[in-house]
Amino acid sequence: MGSLAVAGGHPCIPAQTFEAATKWPHYGPSELEAVSRLVTKGEVSRSDTVLEFEQEVCKLCCCRHALTFPNGTLAMLAAMYAVGIGPGDEVLCPSNTWWGSISPALWLGASVSFCDCEPGTLCLDPEDVLRRITPCTKALVAVHLWGLPAPMSELRDLCTRHGIALIEDASHAHGARYKGTPVGSLGDIAVFSCQASKLLPMGEGGFLSTDSSDLYEAALLIGHGDRLGSFSSTKTQHRLAATGAGIKARPTPLVAALGLHQLRSLRRHVASTSEAFRALETCLDSIGGFARGQTPGDAGAGRVYYEFVFRYSPEHFPGVLAPDLALILQKEGVRCDICRYPLLHQLPLFRVQGDIRDHANSSSSTLVDAICLPVCETLQPRLLSLPAIKTPTLELAEAYDAAFRKVSAHAETVVDLCATGALHE
Ligand SMILES: Cc1ncc(COP(=O)(O)O)c(C=O)c1O
């Protein structure tokens, strides 16, 4: 086993093993050929490739409509606009997610109410959601965090009983299933980001999916003006055919071409990453001081893995902070980091009340106190994350196992290094 790399020992994971296994995205000759064909034909702004991509998305999500956007944030804006979010409304959302899950609500004049997570899954806690519903609540954003589907049966039931729209944020969960049903068809409307690190990497890009023709037609007003002309003259879409709602949010077909090809290899990639991370979870659970990040219950069978989160135990590493433990693991060649999402309810953007334009003008003294969300506030600082393993190898699995066992076995040294400040000398 030897001594810790941070104390002069040999690192467990050679850099090249790691780089090869985690390289992403994988683009090959078929993507290059598809993009080059579009560029040669001059189809860089409009092309049927976008419609072809949307047809494939409908198959993936088992729904009738899909609509592509330049990124997930704009797809969320369109989804929120479609369900009718506007001034005076409240939108519920988890705090331990990326800001694009919810920031479009502010641009539509609504306010945000953050909910706590369930300690095992890290996804929304339906009991906390219920406590936060008010007469102004218009929608709930359920995020399938790190690829694990949120508890959609309970959330669907809550939303139906209270007349609230249910928006899925499936940006971490392309290809996942919940109790056998694909994500993207579990709420009223769903949003996916396809930014380069995602399971379906399109460079930048995003899409929404829905089974509702009404929601699809309303979403078209955000940025898809060119599709509005065909509506009958009695529809709003026809009246607004020249402008839509005044925002342009059409994707370039080049990203749809990448998406079409990536869809073909999605299942294969998801399967190999899942196999590697399921094995790593079992390994971590057997090592003192570390544990899997999410204990999924019912939703585990159909989950996928975007990044991989795991926990460390403050009892095994007393007084050790996540950034210091991350540094010690990094020295062993484990490219882990602290969980990169700050809790949203503590961020200035979400603590200024009123119009979104006030944010740029206000000083920090005008921020309202952050609410308290005890579960995510306790757990988030104990989370570490690893980039996705895209090409698993036995060599990497053994090296991860060795690195975690070594750091666990040297817990006393780790605690000393952190307590005395020697780690940063
Ligand atoms: C959970 C989640 N929602 C929304 C977004 C926003 O997507 P985009 O970056 O494509 O605008 C992201 C992007 O990282 C995300 O991770």
Domain positions in the chain are 5-25+266-424, 29-262
pLDDT reading at 360 higher than 80: no
pLDDT at residue 365, as a whole number: 54
Residue 347 confidence class, pLDDT cut points 50, 70, 90? very high
Mean per-residue pLDDT of the chain: 94
Residue 335 confidence (pLDDT) above 80: yes
pLDDT tens-place string over residues 267-285: 999 999 999 999 999 999 9
Query: Does the pLDDT at position 44 exceed 60?
Result: yes
CA of 306 to the centre of ligand 1 (A): 12
Q: Work out the pLDDT band at 39, boundaries 50, 70, 90.
A: very high
Distance from Cα 46 to the centre of ligand 1, integer Å: 24
The CATH topology of domain 5-25+266-424 is: Aspartate Aminotransferase, domain 1 (3.90.1150)
Q: Hey, what are 107's tokens?
A: 């641009």
Q: Kindly report the protein residue whose alpha carbon is nearest to atom 14 of ligand 1.
A: 98
Residue 29, pLDDT > 90, answer yes
Atom of ligand 1 nearest to the CA of 76: 4
Model pLDDT, residue 257 = 98
What atom of ligand 1 comes closest to residue 306's alpha carbon? 16
pLDDT band at residue 355 under the 50/70/90 scheme: confident
- Residue 369 is predicted with a pLDDT of 84
Question: Which residue's CA is the nearest one to ligand 1's atom 5?
Answer: 100
| Least trusted range by pLDDT, from 52-61, 132-141, 274-283, 391-400 | 391-400
Q: Which atom of ligand 1 is nearest to the CA of 75?
A: 11
pLDDT band at residue 393, thresholds of 50, 70 and 90?
confident
Q: Name the closest-CA residue to atom 8, ligand 1.
A: 72
Write the CB contacts of 85 (distance below 8 Å, at least 6 apart in sequence): 91, 105, 108, 110, 138, 139, 165
Which range has the worst mean pLDDT, 114-118, 357-361, 380-384?
Answer: 357-361
Centre of ligand 1 to C-alpha 74, Å, is 10
Q: What is the pLDDT of residue 1?
A: 75
Structure confidence at residue 312 as a pLDDT band (50, 70, 90): very high
Chain CA centroid to CA 212, Å: 24
CA distances from residue 362 to 258, 355, 365 in whole angstroms, order as listed: 41, 11, 8
Q: Is the pLDDT of residue 364 over 60?
A: no
Q: Are strands 308-312 and 383-386 parallel, antiparallel or unpaired?
A: antiparallel
- Best residue among 80, 96, 98, 208 to mutate for probing ligand 1's pocket (most ligand atoms within 8 Å of CB) is 98
Calpha distance 259→38 (Å, rounded): 14
Is the pLDDT score of 186 beyond 90? yes
- What ligand 1 atom has the least distance to the C-alpha of 74? 11
pLDDT score, position 9: 92
Q: Quick one: average pLDDT of 395-421? A: 93
β-strand 165-169 against 189-193: which pairing, if any? parallel
**16: pLDDT strictly greater than 90:** no
Q: In the prediction, which pLDDT does 363 show?
A: 63
CA of 225 from ligand 1 middle (Å) equals: 24
Ligand 1 mutation pick, 101, 174, 204, max ligand atoms within 8 A of CB: 101
pLDDT of residue 102: 98
- Whole-number Å distance, alpha carbon 332 to ligand 1 midpoint, is 30
Q: Which pLDDT band holds residue 17 (cuts at 50, 70, 90)? A: confident
CATH for the stretch 29-262? 3.40.640.10
Within 6 A (CB) of ligand 1 lie 71-73, 97-98, 100-101, 143, 169, 171-172, 193, 195, 206
> What average pLDDT does the segment 147-170 reach?
98
pLDDT for 3 beyond 70: yes
| Greater pLDDT, 298 or 259 | 259
Q: What mean pLDDT do residues 195-203 have?
A: 97
pLDDT on residue 231? 84
